[in-house]
Amino acid sequence: MKVKYFAWVRERVGIAEETVEPPADVRTVNDLIGWLSGRGETYAYAFEKPKIIRAAIDHSHVKPEAAISGAREIAFFPPMTGG
């Protein structure tokens, strides 16, 4: 699946997007945050406060407990400040 990062999450991770293949026991958005955090210091820094990170699956907002199976694109970003 494709993972995208925006705003300071993108800056901290150091890349805007990548393709990842998490193991089968990574089932939810929260699981994916935990798994990504273990991939290196930049990820651990980006996700150090997982509760403030927002997520979207295939362009729709989702909660941390949302299942990721079948997702084509998952995005992580800070609370939005548009408008």
Tokens 């997702």 belong to 71
Number of helices followed by number of strands (H, E) in the chain: 3, 5
Q: Does 49 bind another protein (CB under 8 A)?
A: no
Interface residue with another protein among 21, 23, 60, 72 (CB under 8 A) is: 60
Q: Does 67 bind another protein (CB under 8 A)?
A: no
CB of 3 to another protein, least distance (A): 13
Q: Which residues touch 68 (CB under 8 Å, ≥6 apart)?
A: 1, 22, 26, 27, 28, 29, 31, 32, 57, 74
Q: Does 82 bind another protein (CB under 8 A)?
A: yes
Q: Does 45 bind another protein (CB under 8 A)?
A: no
Residues found near another protein in the complex (CB under 8 A)? 4, 6-8, 56, 59-61, 75, 77-83
